[in-house]
Structure 1
Amino acid sequence: MAARKEIDGSASVPQFYGKELRFKRDQAGLTLEGLVEGSFYGATYLSEIEHGKRRMPLDLAQHVDRVLGTDGFFQRRCEDVRKARRKGHAPYFERVLEAEKYARSIEQWSPTVFPGLLQTGPYMRALFRGEWTQGLPEEIDEKINGRLARAQLFEANHKTPEYWVILHESLLRLPILPPQQMTAQLDHIAALIKRSRIFTQILPWNSGAHAFMLGNAIILDFADAPPLVYMEGQHHGNTIDDPALVKQYRRSYDLLRAAALPPEASLAMIEEAAEGYRNGAQPDRLERRHLA
């Protein structure tokens, strides 16, 4: 039998919560299967909560309190864990923040900014400063750190989902950073492609009318759960799990993918744009242009 893995309750709020959950379960003499019996969740799900990897849904917290006789403790504290897990992220992004760690594949269409999973620190800071003109530096730092933590998804020691992203060509030509930093941003994406961590396609600026012209999207597919679609606006996000709607969004994404350049040509375009910034061929973001 494999040795039981200890839980470090000092590492984070979710792990503190999980360690207390395991303690109470052991105290009651219950197995994982015994505690989830009568709920809609499995033993594996509960084990991941105990190790701080997944959030505790409200209905499961209520079930646990009832079985363990813990007087509403886990229900009251599950919101604290949710806040800790989404630190640096908007509340409406919480479901995707967890789901992307367990996804089999992630497909994304990002026409206006490089996706958060691909952004460098300077790119993130420029975006946040553009919107948070009066935001405190520590608030911006918290958001940047939260977004950088998401990118650990692509590290070699992490079980990486298949990530496919379609970018609009205008992102390569829009210098929201000084040339050196734009070079670094594009080099970062190219490096992920070359390491086979992501698949990328570029939609040319002159491709004409195409699918998904009215928004962005993340489509998440799972081995053991129905797929999700996430759409985001400036100050809100919407997660869609209705099977009929998900099917329509997936069809739109497939049509968009067909209109985009192949991965090899897309990588060449990214590298060409990076060289342009590196050699000063791209316009500086502060350059003033005179209109006739």
Structure 2
Amino acid sequence: MSQRRVVTGRSQEPRQRFAEELRTLRTGSGTSLRQLGERLGWDWSLFGKLEKGETLGSPEVVQALDTHYGTPGLLLALWELAAGDHTQFRERYRRYMALEAKAVSLWHFAVSVLPGLLQTPGYAREVLAAGGLKGRELEQQVEARMGRRELLEGKDEPPFRTILSEAVLRTPLRDVGEWRGQLEHVAGLAERATVTVQVLPQSVGLHGLVSTDVWFLRLGDGRPVAYAENAHWGELVEESTRVEGLQRAYDVVRDMAMPPAESRQFILRILEEVPCDPLT
């Protein structure tokens, strides 16, 4: 078993540094990705994604790799640094926002939270506060999120389709009045010619996007890009084969979702269940 190595400074970006170390250890051992998958009991493609920096994997996978390579704690330490670094997230999100402003159409799938383009100020405030924001920073972020809604309110607004998991509509705000206002807002937007809202019932079960919010942008040159995210990370996807893979998963979800008219009626039925008086 090899001794634990000193972390060198080839790359100063934590996620890239983690991926580099994984590649170096595997190639140095003369092991192929398929062989590594067979030895550790995970799909070999996972290790390929780890080495490309496309995913960080789980602590269990990283601990298994530390044991396999005889580097106790090294990879896990690098993983923790990469998982805690949000620099890339911010940079990729800023690039996504720049592309969103130029998009000629937008498609979206929501797992648990309404997309910012549909949020009311009250909803945005509670969601952002749940993420740890407060005070002036919270209000600034709410204001910025409301500014995004202008994308759907201009003269040349792009067509927008969103598929909302039923859980999105079943998770209320603490403020009942704000929650009513949010549902009314979504139901109203669903009547607009440029906005398509569909609901994915919980009864459909598991599917390819079960844990991932995803946006698809069609740019002016016809090129599609995607942005996938959860509560802890976000990734701008521009490579065509990966975008196509996400698109296929989205198409399956769209086929399982309720039609737009039925979806709007579903939202209105949920709205009927919400008390009109916040004190009720």
TM-score, normalisation: structure 2: 0.64
CA contact (8 A) 1:153 1:160 kept: yes
Match of 1:142 in 2: 140
Whole-angstrom distance in 2 between the partners of 1:195 and 1:253: 22
Match of 1:226 in 2: 223
Shift of 1:176: 2.2
Whole-angstrom distance in 2 between the partners of 1:136 and 1:274: 29
Task: Give the percent of matched residue pairs that are identical in Structure 1 and Structure 2.
Answer: 29
Match of 2:67 in 1: none
TM-score, normalisation: structure 1: 0.62
Match of 1:107 in 2: 107
Match of 1:159 in 2: 156
Query: Aligned AA for 2:189?
Result: L
CA contact (8 A) 1:229 1:241 kept: yes
Match of 1:255 in 2: 252
Q: Does 1:188 align with 2:181?
A: no
Query: Aligned AA for 2:261?
Result: E
Match of 1:216 in 2: 213
Cα deviations by residue, 1:103-122 (Å, 9 ceiling, x for unpaired): 12111111110011111111
Match of 1:239 in 2: 236
Query: Aligned AA for 2:164?
Result: L
Match of 2:98 in 1: 98
Shift of 1:172: 1.6
Query: Aligned AA for 1:265?
Result: E
Query: Aligned AA for 1:175?
Result: P
Match of 1:179 in 2: 176
CA contact (8 A) 1:152 1:158 kept: no
Query: Aligned AA for 1:96?
Result: Y
Match of 1:116 in 2: 116
Query: Aligned AA for 1:108?
Result: H
- Mark the runs of 5 or more structure 1 residues left unpaired by the alignment: 1-88, 288-292
Shift of 1:216: 1.5
Whole-angstrom distance in 2 between the partners of 1:259 and 1:97: 29
How many residues get paired? 192
| Alignment RMSD | 2.1
Cα deviations by residue, 1:189-239 (Å, 9 ceiling, x for unpaired): 111111223101101111122231231110111231521110113243110
User: Superposition pairs for residues 56-135 of structure 1, below 5 Å?
Assistant: 90-132=90-132, 135=133
Query: Aligned AA for 2:181?
Result: A
